[in-house]
């Protein structure tokens, strides 16, 4: 995968029929659904069947399982994700026919034309913050359009075409997609080196956020003053004077400040102070990091003119997104959670929250599936140190996603780094063996959490079934 350069955008109503390659993906399916809801002729294919594919078909979208050049008959525009390789038969046919080929980010950006765009960016916390903003605005009767990287727990939907003027998107930095979106408000939750397989160096990665925040449409940039990378970005932007910077966090320098935090259990709360106004922010999700995300959402709502009390109530209505500290099940005194955390900082935040949820003599048992060979190679030691926050760790082999193997890079690197950092780790390379391995480990009072951006999410439900069978 390489960085995506922004392209000229066209009115989405003029580009159909549109064929989506990998239409069943979490990101692609939402964009496709909005095009369909706008009345555009949409069709698409995916390598495997899925719930997303079936839902699109039920809504009237023509879908296929498997890729075939014949599927492009009549299409004028083809939309691809970063995971689609150049030799994909449908992409190769689109290029041969000279069809318009857009990356998913361009297709999404076109939907934002003429709207009040809000881009939520950052190394961590994008999905949750986008979900909070969407929920908050919906609660305030703004009826926003939105596209989120994971479905809202309350509705099961990751995308919505609203009647209001606001369009909220989760802006992915991994492949430069965030440079495409025409947004007047930009949120940067944090900036910490990642995706170096595309960006090359931490400095280039940081400079990407600078470019995104200084696009000509941007009027406001909301940044987390507690995060060194985001604070550096704010300082850079304030020197330019081209945008208004709004800061949030626990620091006394924050314009929107969090004080008196309560982090115990599966909820979190804090007093939010904005100038002379203050009120209690009560979340239905745990963790200091979620209070920070909530403060970012509050800033967006304030910039859009929504009142203080309405913002607090709207954020408080957020119940999470799937795969973000999601409860999979409870069997007796054992709780099983699942989380998308796939970067060392995310592991620290999630395991820190898990530590506050577990009670008595219960242990935190982490089951981690590393994501990407390059990320495992670059951050193995950091992963190991983060995993020591769990009492017991099981590490699986790497979920490759879009990458080819790198010689000598396996999940065992993380397992060994965890032991070297003083953690208690076990290496179970085959994910098929993970449910039984975890079932052997747990005892009453334990909290088990599966971690990673790959298919480790399938482990929790199987584990719950095994535990129910033995209870």
64 closest CA partner among 48, 88, 41, 84? 48
* Interval 37-41 mean pLDDT: 96
**Is 7 inside a domain boundary?**
no
Cα–Cα distance, 438 to 363 (Å, whole number)? 13
Q: What is the extent of the structural domain holding 384?
A: 326-470
**Percentage of the chain with pLDDT > 90?**
87
pLDDT of residue 196: 82
pLDDT of residue 388: 98
What is the tens place of the pLDDT at every residue in 160-171? Answer: 999 999 999 999
- Residue ending a domain, choose from 55, 80, 103: 103
Contact between 405 and 438 (Cβ < 8 Å)? no
**Percentage of the chain with pLDDT > 70?**
100
Q: Tell me, yes or no, whether 69 and 28 share the same domain.
A: yes
**Is 2 inside a domain boundary?**
no
| Neighbouring residues of 125: CB distance < 8 A, sequence distance ≥ 6 | 189, 190, 289, 292, 293, 296
Cα–Cα distance, 160 to 147 (Å, whole number)? 7
| 126 annotated as ligand-binding | yes
- Residue ending a domain, choose from 316, 351, 371: 316
pLDDT of residue 28: 92
| 128 annotated as ligand-binding | yes
Q: Tell me, yes or no, whether 66 and 138 share the same domain.
A: no
pLDDT of residue 463: 97
Q: What are phi and psi of 470, to 5 degrees?
A: -110, -5
Confidence band for 25, pLDDT divided at 50, 70 and 90: confident
Q: Tell me, yes or no, whether 299 and 359 share the same domain.
A: no
Q: Tell me, yes or no, whether 194 and 54 share the same domain.
A: no
Mean pLDDT of the chain: 94
* Interval 111-123 mean pLDDT: 97
Q: Tell me, yes or no, whether 208 and 186 share the same domain.
A: yes
| 123 annotated as ligand-binding | yes
Residue 251 exposure: Cα atoms within 13 Å on the Cβ side: 13
What is the tens place of the pLDDT at every residue in 260-287? Answer: 999 988 899 999 999 999 999 999 999 9
Contact between 117 and 185 (Cβ < 8 Å)? yes
The number of folded domains in the chain is 3
| 410 annotated as ligand-binding | no
Specify whether 116 is catalytic: no
| Neighbouring residues of 446: CB distance < 8 A, sequence distance ≥ 6 | 333, 334, 335, 358, 362, 363, 364, 365
Residues in the chain: 471
Q: Tell me, yes or no, whether 122 and 255 share the same domain.
A: yes
> What CATH number is given to the structural domain containing 229?
3.40.1190.10
Which of 63, 90, 129, 170 does the annotation list as catalytic?
170
Residue 152 gets which letter from DSSP? B
> What CATH number is given to the structural domain containing 363?
3.90.190.20
Q: What is the pTM of this model?
A: 0.86
Confidence band for 239, pLDDT divided at 50, 70 and 90: confident
pLDDT of residue 268: 95
Flag whether pLDDT at 461 surpasses 70: yes
- Residue ending a domain, choose from 249, 283, 316: 316
Flag whether pLDDT at 460 surpasses 60: yes
What is the tens place of the pLDDT at every residue in 422-449? Answer: 999 999 999 999 999 999 999 999 999 9
Cα–Cα distance, 302 to 315 (Å, whole number)? 12
Q: If DSSP codes are grouped into helix, strand and coil, which group holds residue 276? A: coil
What is the tens place of the pLDDT at every residue in 75-108? Answer: 999 999 888 989 999 999 999 999 999 999 999 9
Confidence band for 253, pLDDT divided at 50, 70 and 90: very high
Cα–Cα distance, 147 to 141 (Å, whole number)? 18
Residue 101 burial (10 A CB sphere; 0-12, 13-18, 19+): middle
| 266 annotated as ligand-binding | no
Flag whether pLDDT at 323 surpasses 90: no
pLDDT of residue 470: 81
Specify whether 217 is catalytic: no
Q: Tell me, yes or no, whether 192 and 140 share the same domain.
A: yes
Which of 63, 127, 247, 418 does the annotation list as catalytic?
127
Confidence band for 471, pLDDT divided at 50, 70 and 90: low
Cα–Cα distance, 163 to 275 (Å, whole number)? 32
Query: Edge to edge, what strands does the sheet with 326-331 contain?
Result: 326-331, 334-339, 447-451, 364-368, 392-395, 425-427
| Neighbouring residues of 457: CB distance < 8 A, sequence distance ≥ 6 | 323, 338, 450
**Is 33 inside a domain boundary?**
yes
pLDDT of residue 324: 85
Flag whether pLDDT at 1 surpasses 70: no
Which of 77, 90, 126, 189 does the annotation list as catalytic?
126
Q: Tell me, yes or no, whether 452 and 429 share the same domain.
A: yes
What is the tens place of the pLDDT at every residue in 398-407? Answer: 999 878 999 9
What is the tens place of the pLDDT at every residue in 43-60? Answer: 999 998 988 999 999 999
What is the tens place of the pLDDT at every residue in 173-225? Answer: 988 899 999 999 999 999 998 888 888 899 999 999 999 999 999 999 999 99
Specify whether 170 is catalytic: yes
Q: Tell me, yes or no, whether 413 and 306 share the same domain.
A: no
């Amino acid at each position: 995968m390489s960085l995506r350069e922004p392209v000229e955008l066209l009115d989405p109503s003029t580009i159909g029929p549109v064929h989506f390659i990998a239409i069943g993906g979490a990101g692609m399916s939402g964009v496709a659904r909005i095009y369909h809801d706008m009345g555009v002729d949409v069709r698409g294919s995916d390598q495997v069947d899925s719930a997303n594919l079936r839902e699109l078909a039920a809504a009237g979208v023509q879908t296929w399982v498997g890729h075939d050049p014949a599927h492009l008959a009549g299409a004028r525009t083809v939309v691809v994700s970063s995971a689609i390789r150049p030799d994909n038969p449908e992409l190769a046919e689109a290029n041969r026919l000279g069809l318009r080929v857009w990356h998913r980010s361009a297709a999404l950006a076109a939907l934002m034309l003429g709207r009040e765009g809000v881009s939520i960016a950052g190394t961590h916390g994008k999905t949750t913050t986008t979900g909070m903003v969407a929920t908050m605005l919906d609660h305030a009767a703004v009826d926003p359009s939105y596209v989120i990287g994971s479905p809202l727990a309350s509705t099961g939907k990751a995308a919505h075409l609203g009647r209001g003027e606001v369009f909220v998107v989760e802006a992915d930095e991994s492949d430069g997609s965030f440079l495409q979106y025409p947004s007047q408000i930009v949120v940067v939750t944090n900036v910490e080196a990642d995706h170096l397989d595309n960006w090359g160096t931490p400095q280039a990665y940081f400079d990407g956020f600078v470019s995104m925040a200084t696009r000509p449409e941007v009027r406001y940039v909301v940044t987390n003053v507690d995060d060194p990378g985001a604070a550096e970005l704010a300082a850079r932007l304030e020197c330019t004077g081209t945008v208004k910077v709004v800061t949030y966090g626990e620091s006394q320098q924050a314009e929107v400040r969090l004080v008196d935090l309560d982090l115990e259990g599966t909820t979190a709360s804090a007093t939010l102070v904005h100038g002379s106004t203050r009120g209690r922010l009560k979340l239905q999700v745990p963790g200091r990091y979620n209070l920070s995300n909530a403060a970012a959402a509050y800033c967006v709502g304030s910039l859009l003119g929504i009142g203080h009390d309405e913002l607090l109530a709207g954020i408080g209505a957020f119940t999470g997104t799937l795969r973000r500290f999601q409860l999979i099940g409870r069997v007796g005194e054992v709780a099983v959670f699942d989380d998308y955390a796939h970067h060392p900082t995310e592991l620290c935040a999630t395991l820190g929250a898990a530590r506050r949820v577990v009670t008595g003599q219960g242990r935190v048992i982490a089951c981690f599936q590393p994501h990407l060979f390059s990320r495992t190679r670059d951050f193995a030691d950091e992963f190991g140190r983060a995993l020591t926050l769990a009492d017991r760790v099981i590490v699986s082999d790497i979920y490759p996603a879009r990458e080819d193997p790198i010689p000598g890079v396996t999940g065992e690197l993380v397992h060994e780094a965890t032991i070297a950092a003083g953690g208690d780790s076990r290496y179970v390379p085959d994910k098929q063996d993970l449910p039984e391995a975890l079932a052997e480990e747990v005892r009453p009072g334990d909290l088990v959490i599966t971690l990673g951006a790959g298919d480790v999410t399938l482990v929790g439900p199987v584990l719950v079934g095994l535990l129910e069978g033995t209870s």
